[in-house]
Amino acid sequence: MSRTTQSRPLTSGVALLAAIALAAIGAGTPALAKSPSKRPWTGAHNPYFHTHASTTRGAVTVDGRTIHYQAVAGMIIVHGPGWNDATDAYGSGQPSPAKAKRTQSEAAMFYVAYFKDGAKPSKRPITFLYNGGPGSASLWLHMGAFGPRRVVTADHTQTPPAPYKLVNNEYSLLDASDLVFVDAPGTGFGRVRGPDPAKNFYGADADVHAFSQFIMKFLSKYGRWNSPKYLLGESYGTPRSAMLVNALETHHNIDFNGVILLSAILNFDDSNGIGMARFNPGIGLPYEVSLPSFTATAWYHHELPGGEPPLKPLLAKVEHFAMTDYAQALREGSLLSTSNFDAIAAKLHDYTGLPTGYIEKANLRVTGGEFQHQLLADTDETTGRLDSRFSGPSLNPLGQRAQYDPQSAAISSAYAAAFNDYSRKVLHFGMGLRYKMQIPVWQVWNFDHRQPGVGYALSRALNVMPDLANAMKQDPDLKVMLNGGYFDLATPFYEGIYEMKHLPMPRKLQANIQYHYYMSGHMIYVHVPALKQLHANIVAFIDSTDHQH
């Protein structure tokens, strides 16, 4: 969740290998904490709020070089907005102990941190990584992309059931940065408690407040305030990153060297991924920015009527058409002439492979879910949403839209098994506890957001473009890296390009943004050649922005 929608969030793999014991602690590495008992916790306290940390050792080989590291799995406690750390309660003044207990609301946030042995903290970059949802834990990025172990899944088909293969992750980012995988409040081994957790933790601004507290406490706990710092978020983790970097920079005087966005969505009014555009008539942009992803998907499945020309030049033509003739046609609405309507429908047929009659019935406006369901309708197959290279049997061949995501169905079990096994057998954390891969907070999530310069939260579709722009204006050294997959129907790659090109900031700051695209989907790293490219690009980004060269 990745992810950004009601579908399962997705992102990351880990391989289960025995940790390699080392004799000495490297310079600048946190002291080893006592490993917890392997017995389930007992007693009156809530075991999920037991804030111990389990420390283990391991090694990973990246580009032929072995990196020894210390892994720390643990909890950090944060509180909802309005918490007064001087009174240990909400609001000002000193409440009675009974009242303080009644009004307490807190979240235990689970994390796994990897510290390279022998590295000097002030010289070693540190990257905070998280998935999206909202309501997803970070096991996807952890186990599929950048942790020291990676779970092996099928590239674009169903992964067979257990046992799953766990391997050394030669694309781990530990060669460039220490890593902190952070699970959102209520996910993973983390939990929330106290009155009204939805109000205190399940909303755009409340979520950023919790992550801000987590990062500041982590920097203090492990002495990393002077390290080069990065944020890396996927899917809903990208709007979180935009809000978070602005909040930490402007409210807490913490500048970051870079923000790495995977499968970005900054303005939910631009989204066509879950079909919400149907409920926002008069807004054509979601259809326009999703069209290149439809083309890429039809190209991959050999459904384009004109054959299979080279993909990138084809996408350039489609992007131009989407922003010109197609955009103009959608703006005209019922004023569009019949001849122009027919011409646009024919062009959409050429670029999507959908029947012209279907496109006309859709009034030139096809949502992501409808496209998933319709493209392979002749074979009663539905394409993946997070990665449209995947396909599976349609649950309802007569339905209007896709009713599940074949990619999620194909790989989620492997990630669940990998992390649950790895956390207990290698990290020695979680015995007797349940790990929640995702929690159902989409329906209760408060998307109201107070943008920079606005005195109140705006009740409308979430738009954090002003947040990222404000952070880049306040810190002109801040660099941003945008990564997307051509076969992503959840957060179409061209949507990210469009949003970056429309950030409300001076044109010269556009030079601070890098763009990278891959022959993969929402979870870029599921396709190993794309993961290899992604790793190389992120390492180069960190190397060029840590200001030590």
Q: Which two tokens stand for residue 414?
A: 């492997």
- pTM score: 0.89
Q: Return the pLDDT at 273.
A: 60
> Is residue 339 predicted with pLDDT exceeding 80?
yes
Q: How far is CA 498 from CA 31, 112, 329, in A?
A: 46, 34, 19
Q: How far apart are CA 458 and CA 447, in angstroms?
A: 9
Single-letter residue type at 81: P
Contacts of 74 (CB under 8 A, 6+ apart): 33, 51, 52, 53, 54, 110, 111, 429
> Is residue 27 predicted with pLDDT exceeding 50?
no
* Pairing verdict, β 229-234 and 479-485: unpaired
SS3 of the chain: helix, strand, coil, percent, to 5: 40, 20, 45
The full DSSP string for 110-146 is EEEEEEETT--TTTS-EEEEE--TTTB-SHHHIIIII
Name which of 187-201, 326-340, 424-438 the model is least confident about. Answer: 187-201
Query: In the predicted model, what is the mean pLDDT of the chain?
Result: 88
* Among the four given CATH numbers 2.20.28.160, 3.40.50.1820, 3.40.50.300, 3.40.50.2000, the one describing domain 47-270+411-545: 3.40.50.1820
Sign for the CA dihedral angle at 466, 470, 471, 477 comes to positive
Number of helices (H) and strands (E) in the chain: give both, helices first: 15, 16
Q: Which two tokens stand for residue 355?
A: 């029947």
Contacts of 246 (CB under 8 A, 6+ apart): 452, 467, 468, 470, 471, 474
Q: How far apart are CA 471 and CA 499, in angstroms?
A: 15
> Is residue 389 predicted with pLDDT exceeding 70?
yes
474 exposed, middle or buried (CB, 10 Å; 0-12, 13-18, 19+)?
A: middle
Q: What is the mean pLDDT of residues 473-479?
A: 97
Q: What is the mean pLDDT of residues 373-394?
A: 96
> Is residue 29 predicted with pLDDT exceeding 50?
no
Q: Return the pLDDT at 307.
A: 83
Q: How far apart are CA 246 and CA 484, in angstroms?
A: 22
Percentage of residues of the chain with pLDDT beyond 70: 87
Place of tokens 């980004």: 541
Read off the pLDDT of residues 485-515 as tens digits, 9 standing for 90 and up: 999 999 999 999 999 999 999 999 999 999 9
Higher pLDDT, 89 or 142: 142
User: 86-95: which pairs have CB atoms within 8 A and are 24 or more residues apart?
Assistant: none
Nearest to 232 by CA among 304, 285, 181, 307: 181
> Is residue 26 predicted with pLDDT exceeding 70?
no
Percentage of residues of the chain with pLDDT beyond 90: 78
Read off the pLDDT of residues 443-461 as tens digits, 9 standing for 90 and up: 899 999 999 989 888 888 8
> Is residue 170 predicted with pLDDT exceeding 60?
yes
Higher pLDDT, 548 or 4: 548
Q: Return the pLDDT at 41.
A: 36
Read off the pLDDT of residues 190-223 as tens digits, 9 standing for 90 and up: 999 988 888 899 999 999 999 999 999 999 999 9
Nearest to 62 by CA among 165, 145, 169: 169
Read off the pLDDT of residues 70-93 as tens digits, 9 standing for 90 and up: 999 999 999 988 777 776 665 544
Q: Return the pLDDT at 50.
A: 79
Name which of 100-109, 186-195, 292-301 the model is least confident about. Answer: 100-109
Higher pLDDT, 348 or 42: 348
φ, ψ of residue 288 in degrees (nearest 5): -70, -45
Predicted confidence band of residue 262 (pLDDT cuts 50, 70, 90): very high
Q: Which two tokens stand for residue 323?
A: 């922003």
Q: How far apart are CA 152 and CA 155, in angstroms?
A: 9
Nearest to 69 by CA among 192, 140, 169: 169
Task: Output DSSP code: residue 524.
Answer: G
3-state secondary structure at position 156: coil
Residues of the chain with CATH 3.40.50.1820: 47-270+411-545
Q: Return the pLDDT at 354.
A: 98
Q: Return the pLDDT at 306.
A: 84
The total of other beta-carbon atoms located within 10 Å of residue 293's CB is 29
Q: Return the pLDDT at 455.
A: 83
Q: How far apart are CA 444 and CA 186, in angstroms?
A: 13
Q: How far apart are CA 207 and CA 435, in angstroms?
A: 20
Name which of 75-89, 229-243, 334-348 the model is least confident about. Answer: 75-89
